[in-house]
Amino acid sequence: MWEANVCPYCGKDYRQPAPGMMPMAPAKPKSAIPIIAGVFSMITGALGLLAAVMLLLLTDYINTLIGGYGLGIDVSGIVMVLALIGILFSALVLISGIFAAQRSHFGFAIIGAIIGMILVGPFTYWYIGIVLSLVAIILLAVSHKEFS
């Protein structure tokens, strides 16, 4: 058992482990790397959501634009499905960024960053999502030991 020997003035802990017990190891300090990776994934997810919602809102315009070229094709259904898939994957990337920032579910965090690079990245403006997701993947790989 531990003895309760703590200085009432400075708070220094003088407790010693009982004979036969292992001393407690000091906790390792955690870096900010998973938090940065999570923020990058969350930004990618948010940009992907914004782009997919804009695509969903512009479905009729895109259909009119393509029909204006004399093709006579109704692509509104295809555009709507692509936008909904973009919303789904962007939400997944956003959630994986939250897990990365919390240092939990490493597998989900890394898969979300990969999805952000492959599927959400082209939805985002100037491919910012691809770059952010790639950096997030690298940061997650470097800090994988910090995850529970």
Mean pLDDT of all residues in 127-132: 88
Mean pLDDT, to the nearest integer, of 119-129?
77
Give tens-digit pLDDT for 66-110. 766 666 677 788 888 989 999 999 999 999 999 999 999 999 999
Task: Work out the pLDDT band at 20, boundaries 50, 70, 90.
Answer: low
| The dihedral sign for the CA sequence 46, 128, 86, 112 | negative
Q: pTM score > 0.85 for this model?
A: no
Structure tokens at 30: 């955690």
**pLDDT tens-digit readout, 33-70:** 999 999 999 999 999 999 899 988 988 888 777 766 66
| The pLDDT of residue 2 | 47
User: Distance between CA atoms of 74 and 64, rounded to whole angstroms?
Assistant: 9
